[in-house]
A and B are shown apart, each in its own frame.
Chain A
């Protein structure tokens, strides 16, 4: 999978990702708000690719980064329906290529002593970290643009993935394109 070239932007994504758009939704930090969001997606038939939720620097609000599948519904309708939720304070659409997107993966890979050096070398090249080493396995982490995580996950398959967890992406607009 190729990262888009020529945009000169720090945001990186797969070309195929144009099917997906990232929305950064600021919501009131109240119980049940996530259920309202997911119920809306389900009720209106909007598909979501990933969802990440965490509090913001202001304790009254949480930020939801949601990657929506535009094959299931037009982006405009998704945004307008989300905006009708009383607990949704703000919605920002991050255009593909105009945002910095990051995702964290932690993964346990089977790797006996004979393959460790090779694996660590590839991990270093990708910018990942070794979290733990066992007799026949290693636990690794990698932070990066989702496309790079995809690539690295693909590469790890030859070793044998024992367990894998990705966070779903979080994103912010590029500084110079911040509107």
Chain B
């Protein structure tokens, strides 16, 4: 069948099962926007390309399907560099289609030309510059294959205008349905080595103080159910990293919650005192380990990861298993179920863990009948007045840590945040993407005032496209996490960290973008505002919670310190 490149591109996306594109048209990508009119694919028109990128990420986090972005050349492409890098660090499957100047004009500094594949090389899993129209269908197939297999990640396809422009003879191609991928250098291994599984099982059987250290790979591998079986079969406690919140239910008796710089005392300390860390789809990130030579010094390591380069990158494992997490965990469950879980009595360990949980729960000082709103309180009230399967998307900073700490995640894929890159402004577009992918679920963005001002314009997108997300703005008029560091580590010298209390008027701003908006200044107004927000179903809602500015995130491992030097909240410091 004869087609032009633009038609072929859209047809190829349809064949990949794409149901939504997040994008914004411009000169070089114009010919591809024309066939969108006749396609079944929904297009969400964003107000800034960065928003499109984070929406695609939010969509992918929530649904497990790759998010797709389409933007034009030059500034369109450079505006998605941050989301690409974000997706790269958090292993989010995503395909970005970028327009490019005509092939013959590449290298001439043409209008809106930039070296998109060069710029994005280090922030994508792979990228392509397509030279011929005939290569478009195969390249799209390859892009989706790479983005969604092995360790998932973003793939960019750069499309010169001439090969999609129907008025240009270079855009003509012969469409066939049986195009095949040609990637001789790409074949991710997914099956676990049975010898390594037995070796890992032996370490598990012999361990007195084992901990399952669970990362985002569990979610990418759809392995939450397998993890639960492994934990329950062996009775081993689970810590869920920032990327893995929801992979194991917080209410489960074996769940210790989040480890790391702002992890809770029990999760951090159990890892420190452990004699066997079973790392599943986790990468020993510096925010989890603290000072590396002081991290879990007595622990042997079983490390399961689908990316060979993660095995031994930071901490040398005693048993390395190169595998898809679900495959490896299921194999471990079979091995341990058939040949026994070992007879080590872990009673003493369990009582130590229980002791830590009793003595050092997450805590903050409640206001004594005062009128200050504590940000943690907002998260708790939101948690208690929304359905179990509510999706929470967070920005980056204090509010992100409080959301991760004080929410109770009972289901996988209900927590969406920017972990590796720490991208401020992530939450609103990510929440929009999640809501597009899961329209029947309630989606709350938990945001800070610094973050909100970076991407708030996408609330216009949400209103116009009828995507009813809800935003809880924890507004302390500061770049809160920076303020916390300046208070604790820079002698209370506050440099460029104060945002205005008076402008913007968030309520007026949100209303001007078509949202229902409320402002909450005192604790007794919180419940009613949340109830009102939960009832709105036809447009976005923003609640501007004016929260205590001096509140700090605890516990905290100061940067560069060992996890053994965790600071608990001031009220608990006497017991430590």
Contacts and interface: CB of A to CB of B under 8 A. Distances in A.
21 contacts: A28-B184, A31-B129, A32-B129, A35-B121, A36-B121, A39-B121, A43-B122, A60-B184, A76-B312, A77-B312, A77-B313, A80-B308, A80-B313, A83-B308, A84-B307, A84-B309, A86-B146, A86-B183, A86-B185, A87-B185, A90-B185
Interface in B115-171: 117-118, 121-122, 125-126, 129, 146
A86 B156 CA distance: 13
**B122, B183, B307, B309 — most chain A CB neighbours (10 Å):** B309
Contact of B309 (A27, A28, A35, A81): A81
A173 interface: no
A60 B183 CA distance: 12
Contacts of A32: 117-118, 129
Interface in A65-120: 76-77, 80-81, 83-90
Interface string A2-33: 00000000000000000000000001100110
Given A77-B309, A77-B313, A86-B126, A28 B185 contact: yes
Given A32-B117, A80-B308, A80-B309, A85 B185 contact: yes
A87 B128 CA distance: 11
Contacts of A28: 184-185
* A-B pairs, 3 with minimum CB distance: A80-B309, A89-B185, A86-B126
A27 B307 CA distance: 20
Nearest to A80: B309
A76 B126 CA distance: 22
Contacts of A36: 121
Contacts of B118: 32, 35
Contacts of A35: 118, 121
Contacts of A40: 122
Most buried by B among A80, A89, A90: A80
Interface of B: 117-118, 121-122, 125-126, 129, 146, 183-186, 307-309, 311-313
A88 B309 contact: no
Given A80-B313, A83-B308, A84-B309, 5 more contacts: A32-B118, A85-B185, A86-B126, A86-B185, A87-B185
Nearest to B310: A80
A93 to B, nearest CB: 14
Contacts of B309: 77, 80-81, 83-84
Given A32-B117, A35-B118, A36-B121, A88 B185 contact: yes
Interface string A33-63: 0011001100100000000000000001000
Among A60, A81, A86, residue most surrounded by chain B Cβ atoms (within 10 Å): A86
Contacts of B313: 77, 80
A92 to B, nearest CB: 14
A32 B184 CA distance: 16
A128 B125 CA distance: 46
B327 to A, nearest CB: 20
A88 B183 CA distance: 10
Contacts of A80: 308-309, 311, 313
A86 B122 contact: no
Nearest to A61: B184
Contacts of B126: 86
Contacts of B184: 28, 60, 89
A134 to B, nearest CB: 39
A84 B146 CA distance: 11
A86 B126 CA distance: 7
A28 B129 CA distance: 15
B477 to A, nearest CB: 38
Contact of B186 (A39, A76, A86): A86
Contacts of A84: 307-309
Given A32-B117, A80-B308, A83-B308, A39 B185 contact: no
A31 B117 CA distance: 11
A28 B122 CA distance: 18
Contacts of B186: 86
Contacts of A83: 308-309
A60 to B, nearest CB: 8
A87 B182 CA distance: 11
A81 B313 CA distance: 10
Contacts of B307: 84
B470 to A, nearest CB: 39
A75 to B, nearest CB: 11
B311 to A, nearest CB: 8
B284 to A, nearest CB: 13
Nearest to B125: A86
Contact of A27 (B146, B183, B185): B185
A88 to B, nearest CB: 5
B193 to A, nearest CB: 16
Q: Which of A28, A60, A81, A84 has the most CB of B within 10 A?
A: A84
A33 B118 CA distance: 11
A69 to B, nearest CB: 18
B121, B129, B184, B308, most chain A CB atoms within 10 A = B184
Contacts of B121: 35-36, 39
A14 to B, nearest CB: 28
A178 B313 CA distance: 29
A55 to B, nearest CB: 15
Contacts of A27: 185
A43 B313 CA distance: 15
Contacts of A81: 309
A44 to B, nearest CB: 10
Contacts of A39: 121-122
Contacts of A43: 122
A148 B312 CA distance: 37
Contacts of B117: 32
Interface string A144-177: 0000000000000000000000000000000000
A144 to B, nearest CB: 32
Nearest to B118: A35
A76 B314 CA distance: 12
Contacts of A90: 185
A88 B126 CA distance: 12
Contacts of A60: 184
A7 to B, nearest CB: 29
Contacts of B129: 31-32
A43 B184 CA distance: 24
A85 B126 CA distance: 8
Nearest to A60: B184
A119 B32 CA distance: 67
B203 to A, nearest CB: 21
